[in-house]
Amino acid sequence: MAMTYDGRLLSGVTVLMAVVEAGSMARAAEGVGLTASGVGRAIQRLETRVGARLLDRTTRAMRLTEVGRRFYEQVGPHLDGIEEAAREAAGSTAAVRGRLRVNTDPVFSQFVLARGSAMFLDRHPEVRLELIMRDSVGDLVADGFDLALRFGDPPAVGAFSTRKLFETRVLTVAAPAYIERHGRPTHPNNLPAHRTIDFWDAAHGRAYDWEFRRDGEVMPVRIDARIMTSDAPTMLGACVSGGGIAQILEFVGRDLIHDGRLVDLFPDWPGERFPLHAIFPSRHQRAAKVRAFVEFVEEMVIDVS
């Protein structure tokens, strides 16, 4: 029995995917070779074809409706499969290609991805990498992201799938200049009497809690920070200059501790660790570019975990 395919439906789906990934009709138009109005008409025809509104369009924003999100998530893997099948049929060796848009934790981007991005692009010359620093994961599909990289627990709300990439120790550190002026705390309970620098977690609207762990023991410590910042390099700079005691991730401070510019104050409390997760839209299959990037990140974190 012969099968027939709705070419206009497939064309409309392609335009919808381009709009979601580009974040606007104007940017999508460049990629699919249409005018912005042509893109708009293609979306309208698709909505008429499926009998539901897929995009909410205003003068300032454009977001998938709930029906549109489900449609996007269901259709996406099939388009990925068509693209990969076409490349395989053509004998192409460049399966990893196209724009890769990553919603990334600023600290991980600054201290790991910044030095690794050139190597990834050398390995995959047909990829264009976009590292966008955001305070929260948000809506990956509506914001056009292929994945997010985030420290801490994965989001409790949203249609996501996650994969833990590694864990890093949390260190409590101070500069030798600070220790010389104010003394070295001998126990975490001494910290409330010291100058501390705290990190503001913008995603959750609060400062990070200070906690110490060893051999199953968990000890929270309440501090009254003299300096508060939401920028990791600022916190690190203030700490290195002797401004106070801070908690940092091990891969951020490893070289500074090795060079003697920072001191690990409590090596006998090594149990507090912080995980990094890759977070994906809830699509069953992932494009080759996404798989390649996650594998590359896992290679990078072997050196920092």
* Same domain? 176 vs 192: yes
Let me know if residue 2 belongs to a domain. no
Vertex 165 angle, CA 160 and 166, to 5°:
135
Q: Identify which has the larger pLDDT, 297 or 19.
A: 297
> What whole-number distance in Å separates Cα of residue 144 and Cα of residue 136?
14
**Alpha helices per DSSP H over the chain:** 7-22, 25-32, 36-50, 66-89, 106-108, 114-123, 176-182, 232-240, 250-258, 288-301
Tell whether 78 is covered by a domain: yes
Residue 94 has pLDDT above 80, yes or no: no
pTM of the model: 0.67
Number of domains in the chain: 3
Asked whether 252 and 171 are in contact (CB, 8 A), the reply is: no
Report the length, in residues, of the chain.
Answer: 305
pLDDT at res. 85: 65
> What is the rounded average pLDDT of the residues 158-172?
87
Least confidently predicted of 66-75, 163-172, 215-224, 228-237: 66-75
Bridge partners of residue 75, in order along the sequence: none
Q: Which one-letter DSSP state was computed for residue 190?
A: G
Element (H, E) at 214: strand 210-214
13 and 157 fall within a common domain: no
Same-domain check for residues 159 and 282:
yes
* 61 and 115 co-located in one domain: no
| Same domain, yes or no: 171 and 268 | yes
| pLDDT at residue 135, rounded to an integer | 72
Across the range 244-263, mean pLDDT stands at: 94
Domain span at 119: 98-164+275-301
Question: For residues 294 and 161, is the Cβ–Cβ distance under 8 A?
Answer: no
pLDDT, average across residues 133-146: 78
Strand, coil or helix: 223: coil
As a whole number of angstroms, the distance between CA 166 and CA 231 comes to 22
Query: Once rounded to an integer, what is the mean pLDDT over residues 89-93?
Result: 47
Same domain, 260 and 186: yes
Read off the pLDDT band of 93 (50, 70, 90). Answer: very low
Pair (268, 282) in one structural domain: no
Q: Is the pLDDT of residue 36 over 70?
A: yes
- CATH (domain of 70): 1.10.10.10
pLDDT score, position 177: 97
Do residues 112 and 260 share a domain? no
* Residue 191, domain CATH: 3.40.190.290
Residues 6+ positions from 21 with CB-CB distance below 8 Å: 28, 99, 101, 144
Q: What DSSP string runs through 236-278?
A: HHHHHTTS-EEEEEHHHHHHHHHTTSSEES-TT----EEEEEE
| Best CA proximity match to 210, nearest among 179, 173, 256, 166 | 173
Residue that finishes a domain, picked among 47, 66, 89: 89
Compute the half-sphere exposure of residue 132: CA atoms within 13 Å on the CB side of its CA. Answer: 18
Question: Do 138 and 114 belong to one domain?
Answer: yes
Q: Do 159 and 256 have their domain in common? A: no
Which of 197, 230, 271 has the alpha carbon at shortest distance from 105?
Answer: 230
Mark whether 127 and 222 lie in a shared domain. Answer: no
